[in-house]
Amino acid sequence: MKSENISLPEDSEISSDKRPYVSQAVIKRLPRYFRYLRELIAEGTMRISSGELSARMHVTASQIRQDLNCFGGFGQQGYGYNVHYLYAKICEILGVSAGFKAVIIGAGNLGRALAGHTMFAKRGVDVIAMFDVNEQLIGSYIGDIPVLSMDELENYCRTHPVDIAVFTMPKEAATQVAEQLTSTPVKGIWNFTAKELDLREQGKVVESVHMGDSLMTLCYELCRMQETIRDDAEEEIK
Amino acid sequence: MKSENISLPEDSEISSDKRPYVSQAVIKRLPRYFRYLRELIAEGTMRISSGELSARMHVTASQIRQDLNCFGGFGQQGYGYNVHYLYAKICEILGVSAGFKAVIIGAGNLGRALAGHTMFAKRGVDVIAMFDVNEQLIGSYIGDIPVLSMDELENYCRTHPVDIAVFTMPKEAATQVAEQLTSTPVKGIWNFTAKELDLREQGKVVESVHMGDSLMTLCYELCRMQETIRDDAEEEIK
């Protein structure tokens, strides 16, 4: 696919100045801009106006101007945004160019789905190892990623430059694995288990993917849709 | 695991009145309450004060009171919330008791990870079939879920009560599969592909899980942490 080949910005393309201050609300929206900008780059688009971007993203043009102007007004009136520059800037702010390295804990279906996903490479994250307790998996490779024994996890994270541990093992093991990582230099946990983890006191950042929450949001929307249909039908009978 | 066995509320436990109006902001937070209430039920807790819930959830007690009071003041001053009643009420509002049925499209690693996940059952959603183009998978079972041919998708969704289609196939196929579903009664798409889908005109709700966005949020937090450490070190040198 064309968009897989978009290179991440080189260090030289990014100013070495301190990153600008961007509010949390804008930060939350930047990954979405990142995705749309990659699409534009894949299509060969060099410049885009806030109006065009607005139509694509279903966000108001004024919201876009507000979001993007807060880290340097690189949109020019009547001329639009430079897509490549904007992409590089967002990559810089979000840490896409930071060269983080990750390990995946759990080589089951979810771990393997993540290991084979282009998402990491697109965001500049390198998955260097996986860990599991299953003797039959230990020693094998998922793509070019080796599956190692959980017994080696602590030592591996001390002797390799691991920034992120991805938790895909069963929920019941989450607390224990988090403890194993306490004294290692691993600073980020990407948590797919339903276990709530608070590791601020250990100096670690946890970002959780609560897939179940998303499923519930969908169920709620479906209920609402059914109610609207029912209400409309009742209105008609009256 | 104990908490897997928590039964969903029976219809009789839920009032048949129209569901109360709850603001979008509160709706977004309810799935998180759902998870904590399940934990409390698993522990055998019958009542909880907003203060205790606040300490567990890292949310202010006043936020909790505001969130939960807006659909009926079932917390009593100095007496706390009835955990089971609150759980049943949230289930009702979120459509957990609606009995939705789902099919998973794509029987690769991600599809299989989802098929084997307790998340669906916990939220009252029944996965009844999977679909794939891979001849070697068609006719097999993932757990007790049959894998059918993609050629059968449209007909299956017309002849079975399917509410939700879970998209786990490659991004490139997303638009085409969405088109195949246009004329079927499927009303909800749970989208794990990175493809943005807008199917409002077709009368369908799309809820997307953008795992990459979550990864970027983590990378951003890691960058910020590194900057703080660097700034502190610079301060010390001065």
Final residue before a domain boundary, out of A94, A128, A153: A94
Closest chain B residue to the Cα of A219, Cα to Cα: B95
Q: Is residue B81 part of a domain?
A: yes
Q: Is residue A89 part of a domain?
A: yes
Q: Is residue A223 part of a domain?
A: no
CA gap A117, A77 in Å, rounded: 39
Q: What is the pLDDT at residue A72?
A: 61
CA gap B61, B55 in Å, rounded: 8
Q: What angle do CA B112, B113, B114 make, to 5 degrees?
A: 90
pLDDT digits (tens, 9 = 90+) for B77-118: 667 888 998 898 888 888 887 889 999 999 999 999 999 998
Considering only CA atoms, which of A170, A180, A164 is closest in space to residue A128? A164
CATH at B138:
3.40.50.720
What is the DSSP secondary structure assignment for residue A100, as one 8-state letter? -
Q: What is the pLDDT at residue A2?
A: 41
User: Under an 8 A CB cutoff, do B212 and A35 touch?
Assistant: yes
Q: Is residue A61 part of a domain?
A: yes
**Which run of H or E residues covers position A49?**
none
pLDDT bucket at A13, cuts 50 / 70 / 90: very low
Say whether pLDDT at B222 is over 90: yes
Q: Which of A112, A212, A226 sits opposite B109 (nearest CB)?
A: A112
User: What is the residue range of A130's domain?
Assistant: 101-212
pLDDT digits (tens, 9 = 90+) for B45-59: 999 888 899 998 888
Q: Which of B209, B216, B226 sits opposite A214 (nearest CB)?
A: B209
Which residues on chain A are in Cβ contact (under 8 Å) with B171? Answer: 1
Q: Which of A112, A207, A211 sits opposite B221 (nearest CB)?
A: A207
Say whether pLDDT at B2 is over 90: no
Pairing of strands A126-132, A101-105: parallel
Q: What angle do CA B93, B97, B100 make, to 5 degrees?
A: 110
Q: What is the mean pLDDT of chain A?
A: 87
Final residue before a domain boundary, out of B94, B117, B132: B94
| Residue count (chain B) | 238
CATH at B57:
1.10.10.10
CB A72 within 8 A of CB B197: no
Pairing of strands B80-82, B47-48: antiparallel
Q: Is A149 in the same domain as A107?
A: yes
Q: Is A78 in the same domain as A133?
A: no
Which residues on chain B are in Cβ contact (under 8 Å) with A110? Answer: 109-110, 113
Alpha helices in B15-152 (DSSP H): 24-43, 50-57, 61-69, 83-94, 109-115, 119-122
Q: Which of A23, A218, A234 to mutate to test the interface with B (most CBs of B within 10 A)?
A: A218
Residue B174: C-alpha distances to residues A217, B106, B192, B200 (Å): 21, 11, 10, 16
What pTM value is reported for the model? 0.85
Q: What is the pLDDT at residue B1?
A: 38
Which residues on chain B are in Cβ contact (under 8 Å) with A96? Answer: 216, 219
Q: Interface pTM (ipTM) of the complex?
A: 0.86
Q: What is the pLDDT at residue B13?
A: 47
User: Under an 8 A CB cutoff, do B93 and A120 touch?
Assistant: no
Q: Please count the structural domains in chain B.
A: 2
pLDDT digits (tens, 9 = 90+) for B111-163: 999 999 989 999 999 999 999 999 999 999 999 999 999 999 999 999 999 99
Q: Which of B24, B118, B218 to mutate to test the interface with A (most CBs of A within 10 A)?
A: B218
User: Under an 8 A CB cutoff, do B188 and A222 touch?
Assistant: yes
Q: Is B40 in the same domain as B110?
A: no
A197 burial via Cβ count (<10 Å: 0-12, 13-18, 19+): middle
Q: Which of A1-5, B147-151, B198-202 has the lowest mean pLDDT?
A: A1-5
pLDDT digits (tens, 9 = 90+) for A150-184: 999 999 999 999 999 999 999 999 999 999 999 99
Q: Is residue B229 part of a domain?
A: no
Q: Is B7 in the same domain as B76?
A: yes
